[in-house]
Amino acid sequence: MKIAVAGTGYVGLVAGVCFAEKGHQVTCIDVDEKKVEIMKSGISPIYEEGLEELMKKNYKEGRLDFTTDYKSTYKDAEAIFIGVGTPEMPDGSANLEYIATVSRQIAENIERDCLVVVKSTVPVGTNDKVEQFIKDSLVHNVKVEVASNPEFLSQGRAVKDTLEAKRIIIGTESKEAEKKLRDIYEPFHLPIVSVSRRSSEMIKYASNDFLALKISYMNDIANLCELVGANIEDVAKGMSYDPRIGSSFLHAGIGYGGSCFPKDTKALKYLAKQNGYRLKTVEAAVDVNAEQKIKLFKKAQERMITFKDIKIAVLGLTFKAGTDDLREAPSLNNIAELLKTGANKIYAYDPVGIENYKKVYPTEINYVDNPEKALLDANICFVFTEWDEIRNIKPETFKKLMKTPLVYDGRNVYNLDEMKENGIEYYSIGR
């Protein structure tokens, strides 16, 4: 099928590449000409395992293309997927400006019957508005239907999550639209859950917010474990054997980040408020996460008299391993607090996130290309991301390299007993 994909961020680019991999003829559209040229050269603008290889393969084989020419691309597309951003507004609501812009461009340029599919995360009822807006703005006499098809990608494994998804959610208001979406996904051979558009929109929010709740609950329990002398890892292990709970998302740490959970919890909270209802559980998750993000800094502040003129090692900058995304990364919150106190010798390491971090802190931080350089003669070390390069550091390395072996670990990557045996003053979460 001839498919156009609007937007080449995590949602749009991964979807477009995977559709091409399954045999569809795909053109990805972006407004940035430089970005388009980079993608045509086989370079992915985002760090995702396996994405660049599939981009090169499908572009070379002629199933995938990139362009800024939305007019020609929309003109005869059989299906158009919208994968543009819906960034958070100051009040927590979703900004639908990019959705509206693409919708207008579609309406003004399509010349054949077309299915428009919204993959972006949007408030419940948005697909209804998109369909009406497109129909109101149509230039040519064509039939247009809008469907909801939310993504459930985990950054760092987005390609795998698309090609091997646990389920495909499609929200439609007609059998014809449902059949077309089923045909698009038929080569994936994955379970399809077909519901109404509004239910589809809600499934996305309900799923992400449930996982955010689970993370915040475990972090809350971890904080209590510290006070009463329990070990959160033992607690999580005991909980995981209950099939009603499961073993995923029980890992305590310094909060969730990324492009989805922070934005989606606030958006659902806002949606409930707009409809005269309070989602108290989601509100609690948002509050717990905000406090959890700077827990390491607060712990260190209780121990240290000053952060000025001492070497501070920072291991990990991205919000989690496997991605170069910094959105809502706990490292940002903690480093901001450190800089406020006068910290002026921060040495940071991350295997893929440094270039993006330089856009935030171009001169305030010293960036190094391996963990050992960050640790050498350091007085204190913070661990913010669980990269293997960081996880594999031996306890004796901290002891050997650091001036003062003092480690604050926000991801619980090291063994308590091993750190103690090597004479390291070690603080983690819930242990």
Backbone angles phi, psi at 303, to 5 degrees: -90, -35
Quote the pLDDT of residue 155. Answer: 86
Per-residue pLDDT of the chain (431 residues; tens, 9 = 90+): 999 999 999 999 999 999 999 999 999 999 999 999 999 999 999 999 999 999 999 999 999 999 999 999 999 999 999 999 999 888 988 999 999 999 999 999 999 999 999 999 999 999 999 999 999 999 999 999 999 999 998 888 999 999 999 999 999 999 999 999 999 999 999 999 999 999 999 999 999 999 999 999 999 999 999 999 999 999 999 999 999 999 999 999 999 998 889 999 999 999 999 999 999 999 999 999 999 999 999 999 999 999 999 999 999 999 999 999 999 999 999 999 999 999 999 999 999 999 999 999 999 999 999 999 999 999 999 999 999 999 999 999 999 999 999 999 999 999 999 999 999 999 999 99
Quote the pLDDT of residue 210. Answer: 97
Active-site option among 18, 28, 260, 381: 260
Residue ranges of domains in the chain, CATH in brackets: 2-195 (3.40.50.720), 203-289 (1.10.1040.10), 294-427 (3.40.50.720)
Mean pLDDT, the chain, rounded, equals: 96
- pLDDT 10s digits, 371-405: 999 999 999 999 999 999 999 999 999 999 999 99
Per the annotation, the verdict on 28 as an active-site residue is no
CB-CB contact of 310 with 380 (8 Å): yes
Quote the pLDDT of residue 259. Answer: 81
Of the candidates 154, 173, 181, 180, which has an alpha carbon nearest to the alpha carbon of residue 165?
A: 154
Of the candidates 287, 257, 265, 282, which has an alpha carbon nearest to the alpha carbon of residue 92?
A: 265
Quote the pLDDT of residue 50. Answer: 94
Compute how many other C-beta atoms are within 10 angstroms of the C-beta atom of residue 134.
23
pTM of the predicted structure, to 2 decimals:
0.91
Quote the pLDDT of residue 269. Answer: 94
Quote the pLDDT of residue 224. Answer: 97
CB-CB contact of 320 with 388 (8 Å): no
Provide the percentage of residues in the chain whose pLDDT is more than 70.
100
Question: In a 10 Å sphere around its CB, with 0-12 CB exposed, 13-18 middle and 19+ buried, how is residue 34 labelled?
Answer: exposed
- pLDDT 10s digits, 177-205: 999 999 999 999 999 999 999 999 999 99
Amino acid, res. 195: V
Compute how many other C-beta atoms are within 10 angstroms of the C-beta atom of residue 420.
12
Contacts of 37 (CB under 8 A, 6+ apart): none
Question: In a 10 Å sphere around its CB, with 0-12 CB exposed, 13-18 middle and 19+ buried, how is residue 116 labelled?
Answer: buried
CB-CB contact of 95 with 51 (8 Å): no
Backbone angles phi, psi at 214, to 5 degrees: -65, -45
